[in-house]
Structure 1
Amino acid sequence: MIWLWVTSMTISSIFFIFILSFLILRFFRKTSALYILKQWWLSFEDRLHLHQSFKIPLYDHNFRENQLYRKILTYIDSLPSVQDSDFTNLFSGPNPSDIFLHLDANQIVHDTFLGAKVSWTNNASAGDSASALVLRMKKKDKRRVFQQYFQHILSVADEIEQRRKKDIKLFMNSSAGELSRWRSVPFTHPASFETVAMDAELKNKVKTDLDQFLKSKQYYNRLGRVWKRSYLLYGASGTGKSSFVAAMAKFLCYDIYDIDVSKVTDGSDWKTLSMHTTPKSMILIEDLDRLLAGKSPAVSLSSVLNFMDGIMSCCGEERVMVFTMNGTKDEVDQAVLRPGRVDVHIHFPLCDFSTFKILASSYLGLKEHKLFPQVEEVFQTGARLSPAEVGEIMISNRNSPSRALKTVITAMQVQSNVQGQRLSNSGSGRSSEEVNDTNGVICRESVHTVREFRKLYGLLRLGSRRKEESVHSGPIDKEASRIEGRAG
């Protein structure tokens, strides 16, 4: 009897232990208790070693952005362990299907390299002034892996940046007094050299010049010159300057720093903005002629000249500076345009027949049309529209190429009539011609100055509508809509 009782107790104990073990395992599997115990053990083990910390701040003591900070942050965000952080930010990429992880402020992520365990802490602050990344590693591992670890970080970061090279950013300067002087947004302008309506020979010259610049680091160093290049784009509004800037940036894969001069306070602020730009970037100043004609102390001639080629402009390499003007080169001080300050001059004329055919091919899919001779004849009379005005007419009438061409003809005829009235009233006309010089300056020929076209909208609307109604029985959709030339 005693033996049977002991046996039954043993079986009951085993069964109880089995049930208890099952419940404990189920508890650990369903909860984070096992993870918590693991973290406690790692923390206890960690306290048995001596550690050293390294701080990588966002800004150096001169308030310049620390490029090492950006590279390390790129590397950290690529670690699989970021997903295990207590708090991680998710961002969409340039493509809607892309999702990027970003370590949140004051969070820790762990990494392993050559058997050494390290941790990174994102010490971020609200104003970015004290933002820093902190590396913590065991002292016994420092001499063994420190140099190799950072070389590994830079290599991975460069590889990631190379993959993202086509993701161009547009930077805009903030008001003086803010520590972070530039704010960025993704630059998604669709223009490229293939879509820009420009003389093919001139376009190839610009592409060759840019490509040669990219490969000329050793050449510039041998000459003792800063590795940078500057371009002046000038011409009437709506001739494609802004689209050309976008095409240049996409060809170079450079970020664009667009300087809003209204937020620049004085000459020193120009220098601060220049210091906070990065290599492999394009610095853009639009409407240079209008800015120099103003009375703002921030845009004095001396401050602009110092920004273009002063000593501070030498504090960075592989930069392209682009200036745009809506007028002629004669309207600004020639000291601004001397060689060394502006290397390449590119003129953007009003639309001629060759440019018109490029636009017709792009906008309407036309290589030839029975109305082309009539369009060419109107161009030969001296009538001109901007490419933006012609493009807007073609967009509004893209479902009827014939109607689009007739509307362009009507618009130029009305513009030519108004121009003739002005010439008869004034008794004089003016023309200008841009010629290629021998200093490598790229230009295009133009024989007409910018005409005012906005006053012709009413005449264009009436004349074009009457002409179309005599040919078509149905209504014409918006053939004489408002045509307002804008650069790009």
Structure 2
Amino acid sequence: MVKMGEFWATLGSVIASLMFVRAILKEYFPYQLWGYIEKYSHKLVRFVYPYIEITFPEFTDERLKRSEIFSAIQTYLSANDSVRTRASRFKADVVKDSKSIVLSMDDKEEVTDEFKGVKVWWVLGKNTPKRDFSFSFYPAADEKRFYKLTFHKSHRDLITGSYISHVLDEGKATTVRNRQRKLYSNNPSKNWHGWKATKWSHVHFEHPATFDTLAMERKKKEDIKKDLKKFSESKEYYKKIGKAWKRGYLLYGPPGTGKSTMVAAMANFLNYDIYDLELTTVQDNTELRTLLIETSSKSIIVIEDIDCSLDLTGQREKKKEKDDEEEETDPIKKKQKEMEKERDKSSKVTLSGLLNFIDGLWSACGGERIIVFTTNFVDKLDPALIRRGRMDKRIEMSYCSFEAFKVLAKNYLNIEWHELYAEIERMLAETDMTPADVAENLMPKSDEENAESCLKNLIEALEVAKEEARKKAEEEVRLKAEKEKKEKEKSAEENVNKEEETSGNKDKEFGSIDHKEGKIVEN
């Protein structure tokens, strides 16, 4: 026992002496000489110490920007069950943009991980900065954490190559799966500058639409889902063919056919953010490019009702004279024209600028983006805007079919079949009604209404719609007949005037000839 006490006393004296010598050397030896001492001491340690250590700091620069690598490692270690079970102390964090609380390693906690049979050690450390009593406008530096990875030097290539890439990829993928998705809207450029000013403002995206609840034929939905999945997994393919990793979708059809709901279902299926781009607030093409740069990957950029957003439709010059004639007789079109002129004054985004936004050089900034245009009138769009390569997939959002009706009936009434289905199928084949109108009639208005009463309401609405469509068709036929009659009368009148004019010219011609002959002829 006495010998053990003497050992510890001797060891303590040796350590104290070494610390004293180190302090003296550091204080009185020249800086260059002390540098050589540290250099060769580190070589000596590396010679006898067979492990390599890599440090990943939490912050990357003086502005205290959090490192994406640190966040990815934190997420990987927190989500990896085999790693997490080896830890005994955790810290609960609310990670930005995450849906739930994340349990991470506590300070100075060490865990082990295995990769292809190789064992590594992770430890969460912390650096406490020295106190600085000098005056500064900036707040004092906080404690800075770091992850330290330790592994045997014989596995250097495996760990520094494959393992670290594996950790970062898994961490980022987990972050994407767990993040709170957002719905963005572009701010006017006058609000881009100033304290905490941003080009995009956002809210949490919590739209419940999915492809299961979307009123559309099953085969068509499966085709769209297959296309989306293939796109999201084709990073290497796009790189191989030399194209930007993006895809264009054109959704067209009458109002109320579910174009916006389709966008929400696509976002929920892919777990993407949505950027709702309002073109009328964008001043010029430069601002449009700036907004594109500010969007993130794994996102859907939507321009709704693009035929109404700006004067980007084709054949404008060809229709200009006809539109001017209609303005004089139609006050509604005249008002619309005035609104378009006022809108065009506030925005100088051109068709060329929009095309470059879609598939020009700037479209390659970032990756994994989907660009969606929606329109009620596809024929109004310029062919250059929707050609193949820009809008890769065109999806017609049509009136409600019987198969789409069954999806809505299951959603709203929780039924698979009813005896009234046969009548509804027959009427849907004869009458055009949008899914939005069908859903409105299927929604119970009170607690007394049941599935049968809602289906009867739909049948009545279909009968009314059928009658209105018949009257509208008759009215169109009548107006067309009146128009043709007026055109015929106008044409006949023009022919009569033309004949009279021709006859008058002939009489004048004969009169001049007679005058040359010396005869007086009264015309």
Shared fold (TM-score, shorter chain, > 0.5): yes
Query: How far apart are 1:349 and its partner, in Å?
Result: 0.7
1:229 and 1:110 map into 2 onto residues whose CA distance is: 46
Residue 385 (structure 1) aligned to one of 433, 447, 460? 433
1:357 corresponds in structure 2 to 406
How many percent of aligned residue pairs carry the same amino acid?
32
- SS of the residue corresponding to residue 379 of structure 1 reads helix
1:134 and 1:275 map into 2 onto residues whose CA distance is: 33
1:59 and 1:422 map into 2 onto residues whose CA distance is: 66
- SS of the residue corresponding to residue 248 of structure 2 reads strand
1:401 and 1:302 map into 2 onto residues whose CA distance is: 52
Residue 190, structure 1, aligned to residue 208, structure 2:
yes
Distance 1:53 1:240, change over 3 A: closer
Partner amino acid for 1:354? E
Are the aligned partners of 1:111 and 1:119 in contact in 2 as well (CA < 8 Å)? no
Are the aligned partners of 1:58 and 1:69 in contact in 2 as well (CA < 8 Å)? no
- SS of the residue corresponding to residue 288 of structure 2 reads helix
Residue 376, structure 1, aligned to residue 425, structure 2:
yes
Distance 1:366 1:283, change over 3 A: same
Distance 1:219 1:115, change over 3 A: closer
1:391 and 1:210 map into 2 onto residues whose CA distance is: 27
- Return 358-367 or 336-345, whichever deviates more: 358-367
Partner amino acid for 1:400? N
- Structure 1 unmatched runs, 5+: 1-43, 61-65, 103-108, 122-129, 431-488
- Structure 2 unmatched runs, 5+: 1-22, 28-34, 39-55, 79-86, 111-120, 130-138, 312-339, 481-523
2:179 and 2:95 map into 1 onto residues whose CA distance is: 18
Residue 60 (structure 2) aligned to one of 51, 56, 59? 56
Residue 336, structure 1, aligned to residue 388, structure 2:
no
Residue 396, structure 1, aligned to residue 444, structure 2:
yes
1:187 and 1:261 map into 2 onto residues whose CA distance is: 21
1:224 and 1:289 map into 2 onto residues whose CA distance is: 31
Distance 1:249 1:92, change over 3 A: closer
Q: Which has the higher helix share?
A: 2
2:236 and 2:95 map into 1 onto residues whose CA distance is: 41
- SS of the residue corresponding to residue 470 of structure 2 reads helix
1:234 and 1:186 map into 2 onto residues whose CA distance is: 27
Partner amino acid for 1:351? C
Distance 1:429 1:341, change over 3 A: farther
1:372 and 1:303 map into 2 onto residues whose CA distance is: 50
Partner amino acid for 2:127? S
RMSD of the alignment, in Å? 4.7
Are the aligned partners of 2:210 and 2:268 in contact in 1 as well (CA < 8 Å)? yes
1:460 corresponds in structure 2 to none
Residue 346, structure 1, aligned to residue 395, structure 2:
yes
Are the aligned partners of 1:91 and 1:99 in contact in 2 as well (CA < 8 Å)? no
- Normalised to the residue count of structure 2, the TM-score between the two structures is 0.56
Are the aligned partners of 1:55 and 1:133 in contact in 2 as well (CA < 8 Å)? no
1:414 corresponds in structure 2 to 464
1:273 and 1:161 map into 2 onto residues whose CA distance is: 24
Residue 172 (structure 1) aligned to one of 184, 209, 213? 184
2:124 and 2:414 map into 1 onto residues whose CA distance is: 62
Partner amino acid for 2:418? H
Query: How far apart are 1:160 and its partner, in Å?
Result: 4.3
Distance 1:369 1:53, change over 3 A: closer
- SS of the residue corresponding to residue 247 of structure 2 reads strand
1:272 corresponds in structure 2 to 290
Distance 1:72 1:223, change over 3 A: same
- Return 200-209 or 214-223, whichever deviates more: 214-223
Partner amino acid for 1:119? N
1:173 and 1:362 map into 2 onto residues whose CA distance is: 30
Query: How far apart are 1:233 and its partner, in Å?
Result: 0.9
- SS of the residue corresponding to residue 60 of structure 2 reads strand
1:275 and 1:110 map into 2 onto residues whose CA distance is: 40
Residue 174 (structure 2) aligned to one of 139, 156, 163? 163
Are the aligned partners of 1:170 and 1:258 in contact in 2 as well (CA < 8 Å)? no
- SS of the residue corresponding to residue 358 of structure 1 reads helix
Are the aligned partners of 1:171 and 1:258 in contact in 2 as well (CA < 8 Å)? yes
Deviation above 4 Å: which 4+ runs of structure 1?
47-50, 52-55, 57-60, 73-80, 82-85, 88-93, 109-118, 132-137, 147-158
Distance 1:378 1:110, change over 3 A: same
Distance 1:428 1:212, change over 3 A: farther
Distance 1:279 1:409, change over 3 A: same
Residue 297, structure 1, aligned to residue 347, structure 2:
yes
Query: How far apart are 1:303 and its partner, in Å?
Result: 2.2
1:133 and 1:260 map into 2 onto residues whose CA distance is: 41
1:361 and 1:173 map into 2 onto residues whose CA distance is: 33
- Return 70-79 or 394-403, whichever deviates more: 70-79
Residue 99 (structure 1) aligned to one of 95, 98, 101? 101
1:288 corresponds in structure 2 to 306
Aligned length: 356
- SS of the residue corresponding to residue 225 of structure 1 reads coil
Are the aligned partners of 1:118 and 1:135 in contact in 2 as well (CA < 8 Å)? yes
Distance 1:282 1:378, change over 3 A: same
Are the aligned partners of 1:57 and 1:133 in contact in 2 as well (CA < 8 Å)? no
2:379 and 2:262 map into 1 onto residues whose CA distance is: 22
Partner amino acid for 2:388? P
2:127 corresponds in structure 1 to 119
Partner amino acid for 1:194? D
1:375 and 1:359 map into 2 onto residues whose CA distance is: 13
- SS of the residue corresponding to residue 56 of structure 1 reads coil
- SS of the residue corresponding to residue 262 of structure 2 reads helix
- Return 362-371 or 334-343, whichever deviates more: 362-371
- Return 211-220 or 342-351, whichever deviates more: 211-220
Query: How far apart are 1:158 and its partner, in Å?
Result: 4.5
Query: How far apart are 1:351 and its partner, in Å?
Result: 1.2
- Return 298-307 or 200-209, whichever deviates more: 298-307
